[in-house]
Structure formats: C-alpha cells, structure tokens
A and B are shown apart, each in its own frame.
Chain A
Amino acid sequence: MTSDGGHDEARERIEIDLLLEAIQRRYGYDFRGYALASLRRRLWHRAYGEGLQTLSGLQERVLHDPTCMDRLLRDLSINVTEMFRDPSFYRALRERVFPLLRTHPFIRVWNAGCSTGEEIYSLAIALREEGLLDRTRIYATDIDDAALERARAGSFALDRMQRYTENYQRAGGSDAFSTYYTATGDSARFDPALATGIVFAQHNLVTDGSFNEFQLIVCRNVLIYFGPKLQEEVLGLFGESMTRFGILALGRKESIRHSRHGDEYEPLVEAEKIFRRRS
C-alpha cells in the first residue's frame, strides 16, 4: 500500500510519469502504456525494497545505477505462473487446437512473455504426448534476460511438483508426471530433450516488431498488465505474426471482444479464450 501520510495523488502521478519517461530515455524500456494499478504496486515494491520513500527517489537511483534498473525490470516483468495453470486450457489445446496443427508438416508456436518458462515446458510436454513435439519449434520470448535464463535452465522448485502433478493429471496428461524431471536438492530439472525445439530469445512486445509467422501464439496473462491502447498494439503485432487461420490463446479472463482486432478472430474454444483468425 502507498499510504505515507503526506501522500498526494496528483504528485504521485507526476512522479510515475517522470520515472517511466526517465527509464524509457535512459534504457529504452517503455512501460508508459502499462496498466496503472499493477504498475504502481510494482514501482512502490521496488522503492521500498531499495529503502526509498518516494518514486522520485527511485527515479534518481534508476538513472544513476543500472543494477537498480535490473532489479526494477525484474519486478516489472516477472509474472508468477505455474505449470499447467488452468488444466482445462491444456485439455482444450489437446482436443481442439493440436488436431488443427497436426495438418502442418512443420509447426511454429510463439510463447510470448514466457517469463521463467513454466508454460513452455507444459506446452512441450503436451505436444510430446500428442506426438507433435518433434516437428514443432517453440519460440519462447520475454523482455527479461534473467527470466529467460531461468526458463532455459528448465529447473523449477521441487516443492511445486505436487501441485503441478495435480494440474498435469487434470490437463489430461497420459504419463507419470515424475518421468519428465529429475529431482536434485530442492529443484526439479526437466528433461533437456523437451527443450531441443525451443528457441529462447529476448523480445519486447512494446517496442519490437514481428519476427516470424506462427500457427499458434500463446500469450496468457501478459496483456492484463497492459493498458487498453497498448493491448491494441500488441494484438496488431500478433495479427502480423500469424499464418492464415492462425490461433491465438490468451488467459482465461482476457478478452478481445472490445478490441478493434476482435472481428479478425472467431472463438475456437470460447471459455478458454482460444481464438482463430478468420483469414
């Protein structure tokens, strides 16, 4: 919370605007189109973490200390996720999406905003169990290098595996989940063979353009951190990055209904927010 006695809403807004402007000009990261409420929480989280009482103080430190920018970037970009989050989504992929992908000799998937990789490995496991992984290339991108590094390592906390195993089973998994990882110490290292077809790359959805055409773009619970205008731009980018009749999978509570890009898609699995391009 940001209650600090002499708090003033208009003043805070000025501080946020100046901080974001400073970050953009100094480091090239553009957070100005992010949804304000979550952004404000994360900025204050960093400020308090640095022992600072104001966002102007955070601005000064970020400008003069690139390691502070690294820490802020981490706070702004790490999206907490889990393997097979929303098992029904993965069931819908298997039952409704993979049969469409199967018709292609070579499959390209973009996991946009992959964070620390829990979703990529879930996708890879589902693709392998459907016999598609060998001819699929997954491009896993994120704004944050450190998150990508963790994704590349394919190593997750061992104490999460019970929850992930339940998710996996509810998602229609056909094996014993434990066959996919090796436990060492307090971490579970996933089978490196799952990652052979994964390309990890830094990509900023706000400032970078289209780099390939995909049959499936998975971008779940990333757009929720963007404001409406930025959401429009990123949906435009996805449109440019898709093959004909390409498939877009968003988070279960995300919507393209109000977007001007909404008409370009028809729902493939309405409840799971899986859409298919009309052309």
Chain B
Amino acid sequence: MGASWGGLRAVETVLGALPAGFGAPVVIAQHRRHDTPDGVLVRMLGERCALPVCEAEDKQSLDPGVVLVAPADYHLLVEPGMVALSVDAPLNYSRPSIDILLGSAADAYGERVAGVVLTGANADGALGLAHIAGRGGTAIVQDPETAERREMPAAALFATPDARVLALEQIGPALAALAGTRAGSAT
C-alpha cells in the first residue's frame, strides 16, 4: 500500500478497518520528509489499528497480521518471506518509493498480491500497481474524488484502468475480504 500527500489519515482509515486476526502481511510506503524521526508514524498508526504496526528492519520476516512500514529515507522491497531495505537513489524524488515497493511485491508474490494506491500529489505507485495487475494480482485505487489529493490515484487509474476504485472507507473491508478468501499478501 502506498500513500503520499494526505496519506496519514488515509492509511489510518484503511488500517483501522482491518480486523484483529487479519490473515495477510501488510507493507506500507508513506512519503514523508527524509529526516522524520523514527517511530512517529508507526506510533500514530498503531493507535488506530488492531494489528501490530512496526517500522521495517532489513530482512524482517513477513508475518500475517503484522503491518510493516518503510522507514523514512529507505526503499522497502518485498522478498519471498521477508522484506529488504535499500538506499538506492530516490525514484521520482521519493524514498521510500511506492513503485519499488509494489513492483517488488509483484515479483515476489505474483497473483497473491493486492496493491493499494491512496491519496497523493504525484504519480508514484502507478507503475508498481500496473506491475501487480500484470502479474495477476489485485489492483485497488482510492476513488480520486474521495482523496485529499487526486493526482496519485488518478495516475494509478490511468496506468491500470481495470483497477478496483473504492471509497477510502471501503478499502479496509475489501482487503479483509481478500485476505479471508486466500492466503494473500496485501501491500
């Protein structure tokens, strides 16, 4: 799942709708300043979420019902069974890059991935979400009309016209339904 401008409230809303016992790992890239102190974002998200939320460490395992957030100023990549970090150059001015997160999840888990692109003022995530869709995964985009900033979800929809368009409040329940029907990974 990726979010940028206005993303904090959006991510909170999605995570808040995930039930305890949610059956898939969740990984998140939220754009923010490179020098945001450790732990601020995960603390805020953790307060609104029934699932444990932590800042990802390199090679941390992917566990069902655990939410991993990309640390500020690192890319987060999905490997089979775990996550990896990278300090490669920012992609389209972003580190973490949503494209890199979603793209790596598609490479590692193919059709078992559900990718979500939320509010934002750039086009990050569009390529990554298209990659997920191309590998047979589920592509979900926040309805640009309900997004604080519509550019990012609109770009994702442009790249993946068949993506499911959902209002913010519907995304969490949709993920819960997906995780309930198969052993998937939600990113």
Contact = CB atoms under 8 A, between A and B. Distances in A.
Contacts of B78: 37
Contacts of A252: 38, 71
Contact of B77 (A7, A38, A258): A38
A223 B58 contact: yes
A30 B142 CA distance: 43
Contact of B79 (A9, A35, A221, A251): A35
B130 A41 contact: no
Contact of A36 (B79, B103, B130): B79
Interface string A223-260: 11100100100000000000000000001111100100
Nearest to B79: A37
The prevalent SS among residues of B at the interface is: mixed
Contacts of B108: 36-37
B130 A3 contact: yes
B58 A253 contact: yes
B134 interface: yes
Interface string B61-99: 000000000010010011110101111110000000001
A212 interface: no
A38 B74 CA distance: 12
Contact of A2 (B71, B82, B107, B110): B107
A225 B85 CA distance: 8
A118 to B, nearest CB: 12
Given A253-B56, A253-B74, A224 B127 contact: no
Interface size of B as a range: 20 to 34
A274 B120 CA distance: 36
A7 B88 contact: no
A38 B110 contact: no
A253 B59 contact: no
A41 B100 contact: yes
Contacts of B103: 1-2, 41
B131 interface: yes
Nearest to B83: A37
Given A35-B79, A80-B89, A224-B85, A1 B99 contact: yes
B58 A255 contact: yes
Contacts of A3: 127, 130-131, 134-135
30 contacts: A1-B128, A1-B130, A3-B130, A3-B134, A7-B135, A35-B77, A35-B84, A37-B77, A37-B79, A37-B84, A38-B86, A38-B88, A40-B104, A40-B107, A41-B88, A80-B89, A221-B85, A221-B87, A224-B58, A224-B85, A224-B86, A225-B86, A228-B59, A231-B59, A251-B87, A253-B55, A253-B85, A254-B57, A255-B58, A258-B59
Interface of B: 38, 55-60, 71, 74, 77-80, 82, 84-89, 99-100, 103-104, 107-108, 110, 127-128, 130-131, 134-135
Interface of A: 1-3, 7, 9, 35-38, 40-42, 79-81, 221, 223-225, 228, 231, 251-255, 258, 271
Q: Which 10 A-B pairs have the closest CB atoms?
A: A37-B77, A37-B104, A35-B84, A3-B134, A224-B58, A224-B85, A80-B89, A1-B127, A221-B87, A255-B57
